[in-house]
Amino acid sequence: MKKFLFGVIKFFVMVLIGVILAEGLFRLWTPPPRPRHDRPRYLVSFTKKTPIRDKRLIPQHDRAGFRIFVLGDSYTWGANNQFINTYPAVLEWMLNTATQGHYEVYNYGVNGATTDDELRLMKKILAYKPDFIIIGYFLNDPDPNRNLPPDLIPFFKSEVQPSPVRKWLTSHSRLYAFLYQRIWAYRMVRTQIGYFHKLYDPHRRTWPRHEKELHRIAEFRRTTGIPVLVVIWPHLGFPMDQRYPFQDIHQQVAKVLTGDNIPVIDLYRYFKGMDNRRLQAVPALDPHPSEIAHRLAAEVIFDWLVEAVPRIGREFVRPRLLPNTPYPSFRLRLAPLRP
């Protein structure tokens, strides 16, 4: 018995020594400073009555022009981005620069909007006589709850209101702070994956209801005759490679829509292989699209419209677009050497 107790005491002493040594090493190590926050200082104001950032007056429709409305949630609204950098604004600039026509692209994205909200908004914008509608789709669109998902609330509460013990440990132990953040991030990721897959589980109430909403998009197109394109945004908080955990959800949504003859652009296919940190508004903190992701989305949609919409294809002037090489500065340095 004494030998056993001695072994237990020896084990805990060794663990304590290891913890003390690890804490000492963490205190000697100086973590790199966090980069300065470079997000816009000001964003266009909005209220609950007017949640849409596009404040332009919608003039009486000039039938010589072409009017596109883009609906969606915060990914379309442009969280943590200036309005001019959102993909609808970039798309409008590209259409009016690279074609001979006149195009108006209105950003009707609303923070927290669901597919059901967007269907109601589609009926309202009929008064403005749109020629084309684009819906920016994100993974939480089936969730009727506009607030933070219940599965994720405990994680954010633990950060906003930490317990006195954890607060003390975090401020006094670098080892504890390091381990806590790693464990918190891991659990947060697993909870997000579970939350989104629950929304699309055929055996739960959310997906059958949402599937009907997707069918209503096709019904709207049939009754109004207005073409609709759905653009699926990936969750940019996850790697854009084979580790991306929501490819099955993208395919599930696309299958329903294409079955109803609604064209779909899956942006994951175009972002695949890219560094998702460059695509995030604030790397590791805010997975909303950055200016880079918005611009890439606008380019993909522009190419699709040129190929799929006859009018835009006819008015497209290819020489107005300058092909851009990956290393333009290298190209310019070589230019004087050419005969």
Tokens found for residue 152: 């994720």
Whether pLDDT at 335 is above 70:
no
Whether pLDDT at 339 is above 50:
no
pLDDT computed for residue 124 by the predictor: 93
Average pLDDT over residues 109-114: 91
- Contact by Cβ (8 Å): 203, 108: no
66-142+206-321 homologous superfamily: SGNH hydrolase (3.40.50.1110)
| 206-224 and 115-124 helices, crossing angle to 10° | 20
143 or 185, higher pLDDT: 143
Sequence-separated (6 or more) residues with CB below 8 Å from residue 131: 66, 67, 68, 226, 227
pLDDT computed for residue 42 by the predictor: 84
pLDDT computed for residue 64 by the predictor: 74
Q: What separation in angstroms does the CA of 19 have from each of 26, 116, 169, 197?
A: 10, 53, 14, 38
- Contact by Cβ (8 Å): 175, 22: yes
In angstroms, the CA 257 to CA 46 distance is 32
Beta strand 286-289 pairing with 228-232:
unpaired
Whether pLDDT at 292 is above 80:
yes
pLDDT computed for residue 328 by the predictor: 66
Whether pLDDT at 174 is above 90:
no
Average pLDDT over residues 133-154: 82
Sequence-separated (6 or more) residues with CB below 8 Å from residue 245: 193, 238
Q: Which of 95, 98, 76, 72 is nearest to 85 (CA)?
A: 76
Q: How many CB atoms lie within 10 A of CB 158?
A: 14
Query: DSSP label at 33?
Result: P
Q: Domain boundaries in the chain?
A: 66-142+206-321, 147-199
Average pLDDT over residues 100-113: 93
Average pLDDT over residues 111-133: 93
